[in-house]
Amino acid sequence: MHSPLFSVAQNRDLRLRDPMALEMKKECEKCGRVLLADGEAYICSYECTFCKACTEEMNSVCPNCGGELVRRPRRKR
């Protein structure tokens, strides 16, 4: 049997976590450098995210999936 209190707590927990899941990644997956939302960052088609220095070092090839890393468009406004 589920306790009503327990399921309320779970729903609230999910709601708190959800907006985070929608945010863009903010760190380079290779060196962990923080990437600003309107700064320079590179992503592959699977949304692996890297900083410029690592992208250049890897010749724009994603080490996770082998895809091409492209400049992430800046968030508009």
Residue 43 binding Zn ion, by CB under 5 A: no
On whether the CB atoms of residues 46 and 65 are closer than 8 A, the answer is yes
Interaction pattern, residues 1-40, with Zn ion; x per rule: CB under 5 A: ---------------------------x-xx-x-------
Of 35, 41, 42, 44, the one binding Zn ion (CB under 5 A) is 44
Q: How many CB atoms lie within 10 A of CB 41?
A: 24
Tokens describing residue 8: 């309320």
Region of 47 on the Ramachandran plot (φ > 0 left; ψ -120 to 50 alpha; else beta): left
Binding positions for Zn ion, rule: CB under 5 A? 28, 30-31, 33, 44, 46, 48, 51, 54, 62, 64-65, 67
